[in-house]
Amino acid sequence: MRGSPSWGRLPGAEPQWLAIGSRHQALPERASMLPWGNGRSYGDSCRNDGGVLLAAGALDRYIAFDPATGIIEVEAGVQLAAIIALALPHGWFPAVTPGTRWVTVGGCIANDVHGKNHHRAGSFGHHLLDFELLRSDGTVLHCSPTEHRDWFDATIGGLGLTGLIRRARMQLQRVGGPWLRGDSLRFGSLAEFFALSACSEPDYAYTVAWLDCSASGRHRGRGIFLRANHAPATVAGPQQEAAGRALRLPFTPPLSAVNRLSLRAFNTLYFHRPAAQARERLWHYRPFFYPLDAIADWNRLYGPRGFYQYQCVLPAADAETVLDEMLARIAASGLGSFLVVLKTFGAQRSRGLLSFARPGVTLALDFPNRGAATLALLDALDRLTLDAGGAVYPAKDARMSAAAFQQYFPQWQAFARYIDPKFSSSFWRRVTGSTTA
Ligand SMILES: Cc1cc2nc3c(=O)[nH]c(=O)nc-3n(C[C@H](O)[C@H](O)[C@H](O)COP(=O)(O)OP(=O)(O)OC[C@H]3O[C@@H](n4cnc5c(N)ncnc54)[C@H](O)[C@@H]3O)c2cc1C
């Protein structure tokens, strides 16, 4: 038996697992199936409780890589970590990467993931050249911006529901090497965060901030802003940072280790540590892009009841006021986590019919599962997001209501006609009110 299919480790009914590899030319004859990449989605968009999960990790072959152009073709179960290992020595890096490299190409397409460079590079779908989609009736669709374009757009951000992506071709970005150079800057308020974002985005490919969600009163909205660019090949930082071995949490604590006390203590220390204010510093790409990958299975810190992540995007116009209200409620609740991320999205329109990323500012943070209290807080955050005209990210969600989803993604019915009749997910059943697993 495998562990939980999703990163938040919330309880749910067991699925049946079927491995799909290169030799499979057709999908099994099952009533309810869902592709599964590496389970780095937090909520139930990668779950199919009571149905079948098609574990696509065995679709793990490289097909082609051209070091002259940076175009790579892989099977959809290949992880970004493997692409980096192959391409970085030739001076290429994924054009967009989320905050963990243990994600598959299929998973990155199905959530149209974004990274710290959204304001420059848009999301994952913007760098896809084409992919192959296998439907349960045996049809194979070659999808690109010019061929089966509607299927291309429906599958990008399509939550795995349009069919199994077997292989994909994408454009990597040219980089000098594994190092990044930039600044780490403390800020004292949300207004300062917005000012730093505005002045940094023209010059820096990557911008992101960590927020202290336990701070209240005049400290509310304080945090640390990071901005960086890939450094030239001639630049190298400390070797111990490059070595970066991952630690592993040896066991799941019986209760969440994240509580009001540990949160406040960690956040205060983190904010005041000397490295929080440093100009012209170097980061190896691993701690810069993937700080959480340094602790394997960190998700077990939240104990056996698991945790929720809440990630929303808010239109820029009212973002500061709405964020301030959200932070006030989170600080008052004593819930919330160490890992609070704030980032502005650029104006580039996402490619996918159901893509999450849109212009505005995005806030992401974890909440230990304390049952009704946590759900009530998340519902309150949803009301603020809805009133502001924002949206919640399905890749992170395990609890938003059907009404909220349908308001965040009014195009969901137009999308529904691309769903494979044999495919379903726990998420989709929940947010559309359908019942069949
Ligand atoms: C520490 C951490 C940091 C993260 N940071 C970010 C971030 O910065 N930005 C961001 O956007 N996301 C972020 N995420 C979320 C993560 O990037 C996405 O959830 C991603 O889609 C997970 O990929 P996966 O391969 O694990 O796929 P899974 O989680 O297993 O599946 C995700 C979706 O892809 C579908 N799918 C998987 N394989 C295929 C296939 N072959 N064909 C069709 N559909 C398929 C599944 O059905 C499911 O709907 C983060 C997650 C973690 C744990």
Average of per-residue pLDDT across 426-434: 94
Among 100, 105, 114, 290, the mutation site with the greatest number of ligand 1 atoms within 8 A of its Cβ is 100
Closest residue CA from atom 17 of ligand 1 = 98
Residue 400 pLDDT grade (very low, low, confident, very high; cuts 50, 70, 90) = very high
Average of per-residue pLDDT across 373-392: 97
Ligand 1 centre distance from Cα of residue 138 (Å) = 25
Average of per-residue pLDDT across 16-39: 94
Question: What pLDDT was estimated at residue 265?
Answer: 79
Question: What pLDDT was estimated at residue 343?
Answer: 97
Ligand 1 centre distance from Cα of residue 103 (Å) = 6
Residue 183, both tokens: 């600044």
Ligand 1 centre distance from Cα of residue 212 (Å) = 26
Query: Is residue 350's pLDDT more than 80?
Result: yes
Ligand 1 centre distance from Cα of residue 46 (Å) = 8
Query: Is residue 418's pLDDT more than 70?
Result: yes
| Alpha-carbon span 396 to 417, nearest angstrom | 24
Least confident range of 96-110, 134-148, 336-350 = 336-350
Residue 260 pLDDT grade (very low, low, confident, very high; cuts 50, 70, 90) = confident
Average of per-residue pLDDT across 218-222: 91
Ligand 1 centre distance from Cα of residue 221 (Å) = 29
What's the CA angle centered on 82, arms 78 and 88, to 5 degrees? 135
Closest residue CA from atom 32 of ligand 1 = 107
Among 4, 27, 41, the mutation site with the greatest number of ligand 1 atoms within 8 A of its Cβ is 41
Closest residue CA from atom 40 of ligand 1 = 106
Among 47, 60, 78, 113, the mutation site with the greatest number of ligand 1 atoms within 8 A of its Cβ is 113
384-418 CB burial, b ≥16 within 10 A, e <16: bbbebbbbbbbbbbbbbeeebbebbbeebeebeeb
Pocket, ligand 1, Cβ cutoff 6 A: 7, 34-41, 45-46, 56, 76, 98-100, 103-104, 106-108, 110-111, 113-115, 159-160, 164-165, 292, 395
Question: What pLDDT was estimated at residue 245?
Answer: 64
Question: What pLDDT was estimated at residue 216?
Answer: 83
User: DSSP character for 346?
Assistant: -
CB proximity list for 410: less than 8 A, separation 6 or greater: none
Average of per-residue pLDDT across 163-186: 98
Most confident of 106-120, 244-258, 319-333: 106-120
The neighbour count for residue 45, using CB atoms within 10 Å, is 27
Least confident range of 126-130, 143-147, 328-332, 412-416 = 328-332
Domain positions in the chain are: 179-399
The yes/no answer on whether domain 179-399 falls in CATH 3.40.462.10 is: yes
Question: What pLDDT was estimated at residue 250?
Answer: 62
Average of per-residue pLDDT across 333-345: 87
**Alpha-carbon distances, residue 3 vs 8, 304, 308 (angstroms):** 11, 12, 17
| Position in ligand 1 atom list of the atom nearest CA 56 | 41
More confident residue, 130 or 25: 130
Phi, psi of 28 (to 5 degrees): -65, 160
Q: Where are the alpha helices (DSSP H) in 274-420?
A: 285-289, 316-333, 372-388, 402-408, 412-416
Residue 359, both tokens: 């212009």
Query: Is residue 243's pLDDT more than 80?
Result: no
Query: Is residue 124's pLDDT more than 60?
Result: yes
Residue 380, both tokens: 């309150």
Query: Is residue 33's pLDDT more than 90?
Result: yes
CB proximity list for 25: less than 8 A, separation 6 or greater: none
Closest residue CA from atom 39 of ligand 1 = 106
Ligand 1 centre distance from Cα of residue 356 (Å) = 13
Ligand 1 centre distance from Cα of residue 32 (Å) = 20
Q: Closest Cα to residue 196, out of 52, 395, 91, 344?
A: 344
Dihedral (CA of 71, 76, 77, 79) sign: positive
| Position in ligand 1 atom list of the atom nearest CA 298 | 1
What's the CA angle centered on 44, arms 41 and 48, to 5 degrees? 115
Query: Is residue 1's pLDDT more than 60?
Result: no
Average of per-residue pLDDT across 142-151: 98
Average of per-residue pLDDT across 298-325: 95
Residue 241 pLDDT grade (very low, low, confident, very high; cuts 50, 70, 90) = confident
Average of per-residue pLDDT across 66-86: 98
Determine if residue 333 is left, alpha or beta; phi over 0 gives left, psi from -120 to 50 gives alpha, anything else beta.
alpha
Average of per-residue pLDDT across 133-137: 98
Question: What pLDDT was estimated at residue 2?
Answer: 74
Query: Is residue 253's pLDDT more than 70?
Result: no
CB proximity list for 146: less than 8 A, separation 6 or greater: none
Question: What pLDDT was estimated at residue 413?
Answer: 97
Q: Percent of the chain at pLDDT above 90?
A: 81
Q: What is the per-residue DSSP string for 155-217?
A: HTT-TT-S-EEEEEEEE-EE-SSSEEEEEEEEESSHHHHHHHHHHHTTT-SEEEEEE-TT--G
- Mean pLDDT, the chain, rounded, equals 93
Among 9, 36, 141, the mutation site with the greatest number of ligand 1 atoms within 8 A of its Cβ is 36
Average of per-residue pLDDT across 367-375: 94
Question: What pLDDT was estimated at residue 221?
Answer: 92
Provide the CA 178 distance to its chain's centre, in angstroms.
Answer: 22
Query: Is residue 435's pLDDT more than 70?
Result: no
* Three-class secondary structure of residue 28 per DSSP: coil
Ligand 1 centre distance from Cα of residue 47 (Å) = 12
Query: Is residue 276's pLDDT more than 60?
Result: yes
* Amino acid sitting at position 393: Y
Q: Closest Cα to residue 230, out of 350, 83, 97, 73?
A: 97
pTM: 0.96
Packing angle of the helix pair 190-200, 316-333 (nearest 10 deg) = 140
Question: What pLDDT was estimated at residue 295?
Answer: 86
Question: What pLDDT was estimated at residue 23?
Answer: 86
Least confident range of 91-100, 140-149, 220-229, 234-243 = 234-243
Q: Where are the alpha helices (DSSP H) in 19-177?
A: 80-87, 105-110, 118-121, 149-155
Dihedral (CA of 37, 38, 41, 43) sign: positive
Question: What pLDDT was estimated at residue 335?
Answer: 82
- Give the DSSP H/E element, type plus range, for residue 267: helix 260-272
